[in-house]
Structure 1
Amino acid sequence: MTTPLVSVIIPNYNYGRTLGECIAATQRQTYPNIEVIVADDASTDDSVAIASRLGVTVLETDVNAGVSTARNRGAERAQGEVLFFVDSDVALAPDAVAEAVEQLLADERLGAVCGMYQAEPMFPDSLVKRYRAIQQFVWFTEIDGPIPGLHSALFAIRTAVFREIGPFNDRLRWTEEQDYGFRLNAKYVVLATSTVTGRHDHDGTLRVMLTKVFQRTRLGAPNWVRLRALPGGAGSGHRALGSAFLLAAVAALLLPIVFGPPALLACPVLAGISVALDGRTYAYAYRHHGVLFGLQFTVLHMLVTLTSAVAAGVGILQGLLFPRMTRRLYRVGTPA
């Protein structure tokens, strides 16, 4: 295999607690020809000092402008023929870059090679982190192959292709990877592979996790409707339907007011259908971590599922009521 220079670009904002491990993981790569660039987005913690101490190139912005701006700035300074973007809360497996480059160079039709999260978080110090790691691991592993979106947290792309497609949309702070994935898929194949992995330090509190789920789903939903595509794999449709059933189950709690106590049976029936539609996710938690953790996982996953359902409904309604806003946000039919 040829060994072109790979520029590993790490966008960062106030992730000093994980940045050191992220950089160290890039420096432990088996691939021999790497430059590491930390694009710091005006952090107020000790991120810049950590990165500087570890001997990598550090770029700093004057004001916090978002992850898209940080990624774009890192790409502008990169010298490599291949760009490997990895978020500052992800520690790559030692062979991640080598595996990505090998697959990327083997097929000119590939626009990007995306990696997947491992089933354990970088720092398993909270129940919410462990839940989120399992949830995303299960969802990622069902889409080993071409995908309609992009896993922006860890992916490799030829520099020439990045220049052709253009930079990340700096208007987007929550859905930039969905937008870029759709743009990239218009000309190339985007591949997700389980041979490229990393440990992600997932959100540690319920409030932060649910806030991110709500915002990303709400902002992404109008674009999914516009493009008639979901960003996930084959199970995305089942899970979306399962979210709707769980929302209906909550709404069914009001049925006894009109139809009497027997109508309350609709709630567990609808909730059971929701669980069945996402059965693979629940089954993994119980099978690998036991009943106690499985019950905790179930509660958290239902909260996330319900949050997604509400957010999708709000987002779709916003898209229908304000279509020009969605088109302008994603630069559809407007000047760049």
Structure 2
Amino acid sequence: MVFVPANVSVVIPAYNSERTLRACLSAVFAQSHPPHEVIVVDDASTDRTQRIAREFPAVVLLPNPVNRGPAAARNQGIRASRGEVVFFVDADCAPAPDALANALRVLAETPDVDCVHGIYLTEPLFDDGPVEAYRLLHAHYWRIRNTGRVRTAIFALCAVRRTVFDDVGGFDENLRASEDVELSDRMADRHGIWLSAEVTCRHDDDSRLWPMLRKQFGRSQLLVPVAVRERGPAGLRANRSSGVLAAALAVGTLPAGLLAPALFALPAAALLGFAVADPGLARFVLRRRGPAFLAFFLATHLLVQLAIIAGAAVGGVRFLTDRDFGPSRPAAARGDT
């Protein structure tokens, strides 16, 4: 008989989550494997987040007086929890009824796996238009492509044995982004990580182009310092390196066309390379939404890659000039016991 943990603590970090929290909590309480406790850590919201959390009598609400970011909120939830397994759910996610049960089954059947995370469905929590559709299609595809044993956990929908935190510590509270990548790097050599296609949720993703690009620019600034600290092989990558390189070349070679019109062939070739860099992704989008949306998808994807490149460049400079920028602790060395 396989062992299924009796006590599971759900930890939901929330900040200004009035739009989605009710749907999130309703889905959590509808799990086929009922959690032992549900903890909402409100990170100094200025909307009705706390009021909505209090609509659910079984919720343990932990309000913060100041906003400290998702890493600190998750750590606070871990400290307050009592379960043998901590199931993290972001406040803008509504897990499928069997999400927790499926995660626990992987933990039970695979003893060397201590962390199971899941994927976003292509159907949104609330349908907000084409930009959100782009985000969800891309997020679903790259996760589905990488299911199985991985070195990176995405904690938006993630079950972790408590012993992991006893061993490697919690999230780095100095990070406002990439905190899951940094923690994964400390985990991966001693605690197996599994990405499961059977642990799913509907997600309310970014729906406006400029705010999405601004968020990608900000988050990608931590790519360089976090990558420098990585001790093991590279973890999950949402974008193919060839596509990122082609996007950079398309912009980098554009000024050449101002010197000689014939040189506009260089950025044109780079754009073509970008379009065909991930044929599997293109086929996936084409099957789901058709050729017109594929054109929109590729154009939006190009802008996202450029935002990531720009953010990584700025982050690299900041990392070289600001000793406090980036992770506050060294990653766990490979092979440590």
TM-score, with length taken from structure 1: 0.91
Does residue 31 (structure 1) correspond to residue 29 (structure 2)? The answer is no
Alignment of 1:98-113 (within 5 A): 98-113=101-116
**Cα distance, 1:51 vs structure 2:** 0.8
Pairwise CA distance, 1:317: 4.1
Structure 1 residues 216-227: aligned runs within 5 Å: 216-227=219-230
Determine whether 1:76 maps to 2:115. Answer: no
> Partner of 2:178 in structure 1?
175
- The 5 Å alignment of 1:56-205 reads 56-205=59-208
Deviates more, 1:139-148 or 1:272-281: 272-281
Deviations 1:25-74 (A, max 9, x none): 00110013432111111111111111111221111111111111111111
Report the CA distance between 1:245 and its aligned residue. 1.4
Residue 246 of structure 2 corresponds to residue 248 of structure 1? no
Give 1:318 shift: 3.8
Distance 1:204 1:30, change over 3 A: same
Q: 2 CA distance for matches of 1:78 and 1:201?
A: 26
Return the alpha-carbon distance in structure 2 between the equivalents of residues 120 and 75 of structure 1: 30
Contact 1:9 1:83 in 2 (8 A): yes
Amino acid corresponding to residue 331 of structure 1 in structure 2: R
- Deviation for aligned residue 1:247: 1.6
Measured after TM superposition, the shift of residue 152 of structure 1 is 1.1
**How big is the shift at 1:187?**
1.4
Q: Distance in 2 between matches of 1:174 and 1:244?
A: 23
Q: Compare the two structures and name the one with the higher helix fraction.
A: 1
1:279 Cα deviation from its structure 2 partner: 2.4
Which residue identity lines up with residue 329 of structure 1 in the other structure?
P
Contact 1:91 1:200 in 2 (8 A): yes
Alignment gaps of 5+ in structure 2: 332-337
Q: TM-score, normalised by structure 2?
A: 0.91
Alpha-carbon distance in structure 2 between the residues aligned to 1:174 and 1:202: 16
- What is the match of residue 334 of structure 2? none
Bigger mean CA deviation after superposition, 33-42 or 198-207: 33-42
Alpha-carbon distance in structure 1 between the residues aligned to 2:26 and 2:124: 16
| Residue number in structure 2 paired with 1:329 | 327
Superposition map of 1:290-301 within 5 A? 290-301=290-301
Amino acid at match of 2:268: P
Q: What amino acid is aligned across from residue 327 of structure 2 in structure 1?
A: L
- Distance (whole Å) between structure 2 residues aligned to residue 184 and residue 95 of structure 1: 26
Q: Which runs of 5 or more residues in structure 1 are unaligned?
A: none
Amino acid at match of 2:236: G
Note closer, same or farther for the CA distance 1:231–1:207 as it changes in structure 2 (3 Å cut): farther
**Distance of aligned partners of 1:200 and 1:75 in 2 relative to their CA distance in 1, 3 Å threshold:** same
CA distance in 1 between counterparts of 2:313 and 2:49 reads 38
Hey, which bits of structure 1, 4+ residues long, moved more than 6 A? none
Deviation at residue 141 of structure 1 after TM alignment: 0.7
Amino acid at match of 1:254: P
Q: How big is each residue's C-alpha offset from its partner over 1:70-126, in whole Å with a ceiling of 9 and x where there is no partner?
A: 111111111211100010000001100001111112223212111111112211122
